[in-house]
Homo-oligomer: A and B are copies of this chain.
């Protein structure tokens, strides 16, 4: 099963988004890892924590990363490029809103979707409308 990593500038946000996605997918097999906040616990991202989350999330089926802001995406990109042994090969960063994308990715992954499908589901969240007629 494709795994998911949530990277936010806030550890609380990352944990909360993981909670919501797990609840919506309702699948105990689904693996979601969250990381967020700077080393000191403030707003930011910590490359060591991101590396660890990506390693923990490793799945031969692949991993989709949800990040909140462009700077988090850049941190993840750098870490993936420098992963040893080609481990970064099956990791994709979704160009999608973090909360809405995480929920759609979680549902798709738990339904058995492959890496391409889980990524596409996450990115479909860009077109999500929350208000009728909106």
CB 8 Å contact bits of A99-134 with B (1 = contact, 0 = none): 110010000000000000000000001101111001
Residues of B within 8 A of A97 (CB): 97-100, 125-126, 128
- What is the size category of the interface that chain A forms with chain B? 35 or more
Interface check A51, CB cutoff 8 A: no
Residues of B within 8 A of A43 (CB): 19-20, 23
Residues of B within 8 A of A20 (CB): 8-10, 13, 43, 68-69
Q: Is the CB of B12 within 8 A of A8?
A: no
Say yes or no: A134-B95 contact (C-beta < 8 A), given A12-B12, A13-B12, A43-B19.
Answer: yes
Q: Is the CB of B93 within 8 A of A131?
A: yes
Which single member of B19, B69, B129, B130 contacts A13 (CB below 8 Å)? B19
Which single member of B95, B129, B131, B134 contacts A131 (CB below 8 Å)? B95
Which residues in A have some Cβ–Cβ distance to B below 8 Å?
8-17, 19-20, 23, 36, 43, 67-70, 73, 93, 95-100, 103, 125-126, 128-131, 134
Task: Kindly list 13 other residue pairs between chains A and B, CB separation below 8 angstroms, not including A13-B19, A68-B100, A97-B99.
Answer: A9-B20, A10-B20, A12-B12, A12-B13, A13-B15, A14-B16, A16-B36, A20-B68, A69-B103, A96-B130, A97-B100, A97-B128, A98-B100
